[in-house]
Structure 1
């Protein structure tokens, strides 16, 4: 199936199933319900075949261009059928599983995530090592045929729903830095794991802190080589800033369009509107180029930090515009539309932090792309 045939068939299927796939928004919609809906959308799309295109056959896919799955996420986000942030965890974690897990483990596990039968989380950040990932202290020691993991992770998205965790732990000496880290694939129902959700200012318990107390992880769940987990992390992070951001781009342009359609005359400052449109389409163009580079088989790297900086700027510009245009609703409105704009505006404040802070991204751009010095 070529890309155009895929797009035409998917668009027709989404139209036929719109009432079942469309997500609900409003103050009464909980994160539990959002997660249930996401699982349903993924299951329906997988069983209909659409979720399997763009992934290798060895993990239950149908093959084909990665642009197919990029378009699937774009189509779902632009039609209000998924929340792109939680949907895109698949794009963040699956490529790394395919690359570094044992083939039989990837073949067993990946279809479960694609179909929505499971949720996975990413255990990277720690209380004192958010941006400085190389100094993490969560430790794994070898005990026969298992690793014993002890430590803490924080800002772990969706950990309270997760069945598995792609986890970074220190296996080398404390002073070994990024060279003494190993990536593991842990079961979240293993003994010794405690998950505590964190209420964010936009009203969702999307993040969690996770405690590991002598948690057993089979050695066969090691991703990549021992003490080479930094390689796994550097492979994963560009995916976090590629296809998942393409989905976000589609969502932001959809929300900008809704704002234009609903704003009253004179509510939008022309200069602010022009800046928001410019940013939205600049981000779209940059992200589109990243999708095509990945489709050509080019390896993603530090240049995706540009995508992340553009995302953060675009997201905050769009929702700043919304805040000015519908200010009373964002401040005190209690209807579904006001609640949605308020939640999105508050969430946009974190865009310069999540997925790698804007300062760190600019440091990467300066040092690794422009050769203006060494990483701090």
Structure 2
């Protein structure tokens, strides 16, 4: 066994490498700078092989348990070398390509994402299909060996910086049941007919985009899986979103918690009870996420139980930033400060990735068997 496949040894050596290699981000908080920094970090990690561990060899990786990927993400995001948003696309979309693309396409494309050469995005949500993903209307129509795509996506993170997109479309006859009529494609964002328009949100960062598809021609070899596999692809994506991606975001929230403690001390605030509640929420979330991460590593199939992780994450994130607003008077309301941007973004924690209401309904109906009412 490769000794670097042991998580403890892997973490120790990775920390030593990160200590010895300066990947400090520039003093530029713009989204464009964050994306450049993410690509820079990924290039360095890939060239040193760290970001190849935990990925299968047939897709350009070096093998080893999936847990190694979580360790890399935790160390990189926890040190604030890269932001969790761009990093999440890596962990969600690369496994999807490995599982659903042809072996040849996965072997060609996945290393481009792992190395920071490319950025990808996820075209799922639509203006009329948010939580009800099965009702999406973007349509792919067959034309010989190709497909022609028309429709619109929205809330597509980082589309303006992306080279490729994993896209869900509607295929099949009009009478086909919704879940069986969804097909996924791997689309080049510079294909003629694709238009990207960033959305300016209240937190002042144009992370989300509208993406329009007007007679976009995609080769049939870019289909992921078979016609009708799109719904299962979306369901298989969730375990990665709510395990390794959450683990990275938790590391980020802990880093911000430490920064809040330091800022509160400088102001001489009496904060024991307030910060204690935040720490308890973060620790509860981390314990739950650790158990989820180990279940995934053991080969267990994750299901509706990950809705618990989502509810805990949203609650902990909002509590952290509510506490920052209370302990740092005026920073959120009056100053152009990262705390302001992050506070505003945290308001969406109970919306993105499945609303809190939907998650609690899933917990009630599918885990507690409480029925529909």
Query: TM-score category by the smaller chain?
Result: over 0.9
Displacement of 1:174 after TM fit? 4.1
Distance in 1, matches of 2:343 and 2:19, equals: 29
Normalised by the length of structure 1, the TM-score is 0.94
Displacement of 1:343 after TM fit? 1.0
Distance in 2, matches of 1:277 and 1:192, equals: 48
Indicate if the aligned counterparts of 2:264 and 2:271 stay in contact, CA closer than 8 A. Answer: no
Displacement of 1:266 after TM fit? 5.5
Whether 2:264 is the aligned partner of 1:267: answer no
Residue in structure 2 matched with residue 4 of structure 1 by the alignment: 8
Query: C-alpha offsets along residues 327-362 of structure 1, whole Å, 9 cap, x if unaligned?
Result: 22222224xxxx111111111011011111111111
Give the alignment of 1:287-306 within 5 angstroms. Answer: 287-306=289-308
Query: C-alpha offsets along residues 163-202 of structure 1, whole Å, 9 cap, x if unaligned?
Result: 1111100002345211111011111011100000001111
Residue in structure 1 matched with residue 101 of structure 2 by the alignment: 101
Whether 2:287 is the aligned partner of 1:285: answer yes
Q: 2:324 aligns with which of 322, 330, 339?
A: 322
- Structure 2 residue ranges without an equivalent (≥5): none
Distance in 2, matches of 1:274 and 1:31, equals: 32
Distance in 2, matches of 1:191 and 1:293, equals: 43
- Structure 1 residue ranges without an equivalent (≥5): none
Local SS of the residue matching 1:300: coil
Structure-2 change in CA distance of 1:133 and 1:120 (3 Å): same
Residue in structure 2 matched with residue 14 of structure 1 by the alignment: 18
Distance in 2, matches of 1:144 and 1:268, equals: 70
Q: What's the C-alpha RMSD, in Å, of the aligned pairs?
A: 1.5
Give the alignment of 1:1-376 within 5 angstroms. Answer: 1=4, 2-18=6-22, 21-24=23-26, 28-175=28-175, 176-264=177-265, 267-334=269-336, 339-373=337-371
Local SS of the residue matching 1:263: helix
- Number of residues of Structure 1 aligned to a counterpart in Structure 2: 367
Query: C-alpha offsets along residues 134-175 of structure 1, whole Å, 9 cap, x if unaligned?
Result: 100000000011110000000000001111111100002345
Query: C-alpha offsets along residues 15-68 of structure 1, whole Å, 9 cap, x if unaligned?
Result: 0113xx12245xx53211110110000000000010000000010101111111
Distance in 1, matches of 2:105 and 2:251, equals: 33
Indicate if the aligned counterparts of 2:43 and 2:115 stay in contact, CA closer than 8 A. Answer: yes
Indicate if the aligned counterparts of 1:352 and 1:358 stay in contact, CA closer than 8 A. Answer: yes
Distance in 1, matches of 2:213 and 2:103, equals: 27
Local SS of the residue matching 2:130: coil
Structure 1's consecutive aligned runs of 4 or more residues displaced over 3 angstroms after TM superposition are 268-271
Local SS of the residue matching 2:330: helix
